[in-house]
Structures are given as C-alpha cells and as structure tokens.
Copies of this chain bind each other. A is one copy, B any other.
C-alpha cells in the first residue's frame, strides 16, 4: 500500500509540473517520466495513456480542492462570509501551487472535445459548492430572491478564472489576495 501510491503520486506531481510548464501537448511522456524518476513504461502501469494523466489530475486535485474548500467554510454561518472565504481560498491555492494553477486554468479549455468533456466533469462538484452557497444566501435573505444561481456561479467562476488568467499571463506580479478584497464587495452588490 505504500510503494504504489508513492510512485503514483510522484508521477502525478511531475505531470502537474511538466504540463503546467509546457501544456498538455508540449509535455512529453518521457519528460514526465524523467521528472518522476521512473521509466517511460512505468507510467503505463498507473495510467491508461497520456490523456488519462490529465483527467486524473483534474479528478484528484479538484476533489482535494473541493474537500479543502468545504473545510474552510465549515464553521461559517454567514453566506457572504462563506463567499469571501471561498474567493480567498481560490486565490490562495492558485498562488501557492502555480503549476497546478496553470494546468487548471489552461487545460480546462481543451480543444479536444472529448477530453474537454471529461475534464470539465470534475469541476461539477466545485460548481455545486458555489451554487449551494449562493442558494443559501438567497434563502437567508442576503442575496436577491430573483438571482439566477447558475448565472451567478458563472459570474463567480468566470471572473475568478479571468483574474487568475491575467495574473498568470502577466507573470504573477501582484498579490491576488488584495484583489479578493476589492472583488468580494462587488460580488455581494451584484448578487443583492
């Protein structure tokens, strides 16, 4: 139970690093294997093929992310405060794991349709979490009763996505946490 997980994790982390640096197409299986310190062929003992690696990154890391995000808001009652916490957490993770941020931001828009479907599937739980918070905000009277939850989630996620994209694009030159201080009040107004 220890050898395999170790190697699996090693490969997965190397994949995040290499794909984050070079993109899915630019990342060669050999590069990932080298970085992980295993032979090319070994990768195929843990993953079906190259696509499977990417999909697994999304599956594992987004699940991790959602679980952590849920823990972050576990003691919070106020839906507005929950939202603020989620935004901060999003920016924090992106700042602290830049390779992963690159992968999530960029590979989410997979040009290969079938791959895109598989990849976006794992966002669903993240979307659900956000939608639940917004729903709760509506129920508790913080947000507008007429607010379309799905649209609000698109505003939420699209905005965060764009902010991180720009931030990555500009080389991560500023502190995203300060951005969240300006962003959250606007969200709250928007959803009122």
Contact = CB atoms under 8 A, between A and B. Distances in A.
Interface residues of A, number: 42
Contact of A159 (B147, B154, B165): B154
A109 B112 contact: no
Given A107-B111, A111-B107, A112-B26, A157 B162 contact: yes
Given A154-B166, A190-B187, A190-B189, A24 B111 contact: yes
Interface of A is mostly: helix
Interface stretch (A62-70, A87-95, A178-186): A178-186
B112 A151 contact: no
Contacts of A109: 105-106, 108-109, 165
- In the A-B complex, the 8 residue pairs with the smallest Cβ-Cβ separation, listed nearest first, are A23-B111, A158-B162, A190-B190, A158-B158, A158-B159, A109-B109, A155-B159, A106-B109
